[in-house]
Amino acid sequence: MERGDKLSDWLRIAEYIAARGAILALDTLLVAFLIYRLLLLAKGTRAYQVLIGLLVFVLALYLSDALGLETIHWLLDRMTTLGPVALVILFFPELRRVLETIGRVEFWRSSFGVSPDAEPIQRAINEVVSAVQQMARDRIGALIVWERKDRIAEGNGIELQAEATSPLLRTIFYPGSPLHDGAVILRNAEIVEAAVYFPEISQNPEIPSSMHTRHRAGIGVTETSDCVSIIVSEETGQITVAVDGAWTQNVDADHLRRLLSDLLTGEARPRILERMGVTLSSVRKNRAERNANKRTEEKTA
């Protein structure tokens, strides 16, 4: 009888451990999933760079303690007391954007592998093409950057969160409008920011001299992130599309609609690079040739 009681006690303990193990595993998976999604949201933004800086700070704090660097460790340790306040100040725009994103249906649909509805994006493409076509006809300069995976909008411009429509885009870029300078950034089917200025422009020597700051800014942002830039020249009325640091000029409305549809809703990569007037391969080839010529000149000198 006692042996049976002991056996039942061990079975209850095993069942308890198994139940707790399942709960702990579920808890760990949920935490890992949330961290993964937050990292995806932060990727390509200023917050991602700040996170890397925080990891370096934590590593320095640990190493200073392990190596016995008492003064440095004391200074770093004092800085940690201001950490929560500093994080809220640094990440205030990002925290608000994360909370807004989590509250949207698209966040959870993409989290569980459900593709976003392509119909709103296609409607936005038609609106953008209509606006770009009219601005090109009227020689109104414009720079529209459409996000894909990487986040471009970081709160540097004027936040809009408005549906992408042709009248709104033409109003934004109309000369004299307070928002007409800078870029408009789209995410899915929404205009998220306007009057955005990018800190760096492309230094690619292959860019023709007829392309000025607006074109270089539009091409430059595609060199560092996964986005699509649409540039309208106020001098010639030509439409230029840039992606992955490559660009094509003098794009008509039908061609623009096909490009955007491929890039935003379909199999973009194989077909788009065939259609681009200047491809990544040609840019890299020319760069390699210039480097080889430079090395040859250095050897002969």
pLDDT confidence of residue 114? 46
pLDDT confidence of residue 53? 74
Residue ranges of domains in the chain:
2-111, 118-285
- As a CATH number, domain 118-285 is 3.40.1700.10
- What is the chain's pLDDT, residue by residue, as a tens digit (301 residues)? 455 555 566 667 666 666 666 677 777 777 777 766 666 655 555 556 666 777 787 888 888 888 888 888 888 787 777 767 766 666 655 566 556 555 555 555 555 544 556 788 999 999 999 999 999 999 999 999 999 877 787 767 888 889 999 999 999 999 988 888 899 999 989 999 999 998 888 888 888 888 889 999 999 999 888 899 999 999 999 999 999 888 999 999 999 999 999 888 864 444 444 444 444 445 455 555 666 666 666 666 5
pLDDT confidence of residue 1? 47
Q: Are 277 and 247 in contact (CB under 8 A)?
A: yes
Beta-bridge mates of residue 159: 193
User: CA 161, CA 12: separation in Å to the nearest integer?
Assistant: 55
Strand 227-232 relative to strand 158-163, pairing: unpaired
User: CA 250, CA 19: separation in Å to the nearest integer?
Assistant: 65
**Plot region of 146 (φ>0 → left; ψ -120 to 50 → alpha; else → beta):** beta
Report helix, strand or coil for 100.
helix
pLDDT confidence of residue 102? 57
pLDDT confidence of residue 63? 86
pTM as predicted: 0.58
